Homo-oligomer: A and B are copies of this chain.
């Protein structure tokens, strides 16, 4: 089960299960000298943690991050930064029922077939709980990006069919004012009503997250397989419930013409429009980077569903326990985190693109 390490120079290794005692992440490759603002890290953790609103599982995790290495006198030393988050509320309960069948919309069955073995106490590594580690790592990457003037902001663009009408980049306060992280009161209220209805039926909703990166310099990403959009798409798609990612005008380009879709360059390094979403030919073009991700409805629902048990016999199930009726508002910060990680890694990979810069840094 390889695949828990991410990044080229900035490498993160996440570990831990939803039902183990603790989970964490090791962040290797950050440069020395970054001021580690623990308050910012915990703010990000709190935005992901369960129990913030009635639209999130009430499982009460405090999700404080403990930093175990790599920081000295408040700054990164360049050494790997190990961070740990306790699972304060994992239950030692009876999982024998869950162990006996395969939950629809989950990877239980694939796990059993692939590894011949499954930790049936939760989603294991496929659990959304794993993303807590990504948020901790992403916050560190975010602190690095801030030193360069890059800021990444995500918010709930849509839940069900209720979509925000926003212009530009919504502020942190506008986003956090809504329990659904929808910075448009009308849409947020309508979505709340929709969710309340679904919860009564034991059902769940999906949605769309939009993420905007500002202050991005020209030159992140490389032209072929390390295109910035390819790396962002892969990174965001590695978040459990994501079923689609688009950049700039995204799927709308199918019906557009070239004369509409091309962004005219203006003197002074600007573009007249930003259909490209800030990336051309795989390289950041200096405009805002705009990305959207489609998030599927939470698969764990209490409504009756058909499935099979581990002996392949049909079985009617209703998933009990603490589950989010919609995962989108909590996933907002996970998208931010993955975008932070990709941008920070590309900064590091791209630092030596020009011979002149390299000579300046190294020549004795």
For window 288-316 of chain A, which residues contact chain B by CB distance below 8 Å? 294-301, 303, 305-308, 312-314
* B32 pairs with A4, CB closer than 8 A: no
Q: Assess the A114–B350 pair: CB atoms within 8 A.
A: yes
Contact with B along A29-61 (1 / 0, CB 8 A): 111111000000000000000000000000000
* Cβ of A253 to closest chain B Cβ, rounded Å: 4
Interface bits A327-364 vs B (CB < 8 Å: 1, else 0): 00000000000000000000111111111111101111
| A22 CB, nearest partner CB in chain B, Å | 5
The size of the chain A interface, using a CB distance under 8 A, is 168
Q: Is the CB of B237 within 8 A of A301?
A: no
Cα–Cα, bound, A124→B123 (Å): 37
Please indicate the chain B residues that have their CB under 8 angstroms from the CB of A69 in the complex: 15-17, 20, 22-23
A153 near B: Cβ within 8 Å? no
Given A109-B285, A258-B297, A355-B147, A115 and B234 contact (CB-CB distance below 8 Å): no
> Across the interface, do B255 and A248 meet the contact criterion of CB distance under 8 Å?
no
Whether A250 touches B294, Cβ cut-off 8 Å, given contacts A314-B266, A363-B149, is yes
The answer to whether residues A223 and B124 also contact, given A243-B248, A305-B259, A355-B33 and a CB cut-off of 8 A, is yes
Name the one of B15, B32, B233, B349 contacting A70, with C-beta atoms under 8 angstroms.
B15
